[in-house]
Amino acid sequence: MIRTGALLAAGALILLSAPAAYAQPRRPLSANPSAVVKAQLALARLAREKGQWTALRETADKDAVLFAPDAVNAPAWLRKRADPRQPVDWQPRRIFTACDGSYAAATGPWAGPDGASGSFITIWRRQPKGDYKWLLTLDGGTPLPAQDDPVIEGHVAQCAPRDRAAGPERSGKRPDKAAVTRIAIPPPPGGEGQSDDGSLRWRWSSGAGAGGSALAVTMRQQGVQTPILQESAVPGESAVTTP
């Protein structure tokens, strides 16, 4: 089980990773891994206090997707669903944030009350006021070793040169004013997305007939999109599909 006090303290002990050679000037509402840590810890705390499904429902964006085991619209799937007596615990270990901070990916171990465990990936979307709501979440069966050090790593994607920047940077719009690309409701069985500046990207697939669900994330590093996270879950091993 997660030690709440240690994790709350860890929110202030984030190790930021960004190559000095690619350092960029700070921009309005730029990358802030601490805000994503805060959102992920708040989700885990809310699950303990109010219930697992309630926590996911109250922190989800309106087009959020979870896998049960197929991709489903989270607010619709979670509506009126009774919370289990004991929630799953999610412990963030690493945060990967787009250069402009518009989206981020969190990962770490999850542990269920029945002894099941694995690792999760959650994609977070920044809201107009600077807070975050989750967009996609997948709890897979990949085991992670125990961690004695409570420090949470924070990694920021390399920013693109301004003359090659995409989306709101190129148009001159502030990242928080950019139009949000929503996932269709109900969601397709597979899809992809990216941050407003293209520095963080993800792709998902689902379906029991296709061998389960998968979520993969890439991040711009040294000028190229580099795979950083990949998780998969077959029916029965995901915390989200636990009754």
Look at residue 165 in the predicted model and tell me its pLDDT: 45
pLDDT at 88 over 70: yes
Write the CB contacts of 89 (distance below 8 Å, at least 6 apart in sequence). Answer: 1, 2, 44, 47, 48, 110, 111
pLDDT at 36 over 90: yes
Residue 68 pLDDT level (bands cut at 50, 70, 90)? confident
33-50 and 52-59 helices, crossing angle to 10°: 140
pLDDT at 119 over 70: yes
Look at residue 240 in the predicted model and tell me its pLDDT: 62
pTM for the structure as a whole: 0.83
Of 169, 95, 166, residue with least CA distance to 134: 95
Residue 4 pLDDT level (bands cut at 50, 70, 90)? very low
pLDDT at 199 over 70: yes
Least confident residue range of 130-134, 181-185, 236-240: 236-240
Q: Residue 98 and residue 124: Cα distance in Å, rounded? A: 10
Least confident residue range of 23-27, 74-78, 192-196, 202-206: 23-27
Q: Cβ atoms within 10 A of the Cβ of 75, count? A: 17
pLDDT at 113 over 80: yes
Q: What is the mean pLDDT of residues 115-141?
A: 95
Look at residue 172 in the predicted model and tell me its pLDDT: 45
With contact defined as beta carbons under 8 Å apart, do 68 and 85 qualify? no
pLDDT at 126 over 70: yes
What are the phi and psi torsion angles at 12 (to 5°)?
-95, 0
Look at residue 10 in the predicted model and tell me its pLDDT: 39
Residue 2 pLDDT level (bands cut at 50, 70, 90)? very low
All structural domains of the chain, each given as residue ranges with its CATH number in brackets, are 4-233 (3.10.450.50)
Q: What is the mean pLDDT of residues 121-150?
A: 91
pLDDT at 176 over 70: no
Give how far Cα 145 sits from Cα of 10, 93, 149, Å. Answer: 18, 11, 12
H helical segments located in the chain? 4-10, 33-50, 52-59, 74-78, 168-171
Q: Residue 211 and residue 232: Cα distance in Å, rounded? A: 9
pLDDT at 5 over 60: no
Q: Residue 25 and residue 185: Cα distance in Å, rounded? A: 38
Q: Residue 211 and residue 194: Cα distance in Å, rounded? A: 25
Residue 29 pLDDT level (bands cut at 50, 70, 90)? low
Give how far Cα 171 sits from Cα of 24, 61, 176, 219, Å. Answer: 19, 26, 13, 22
In terms of residues, how long is the chain?
Answer: 243
Look at residue 174 in the predicted model and tell me its pLDDT: 52
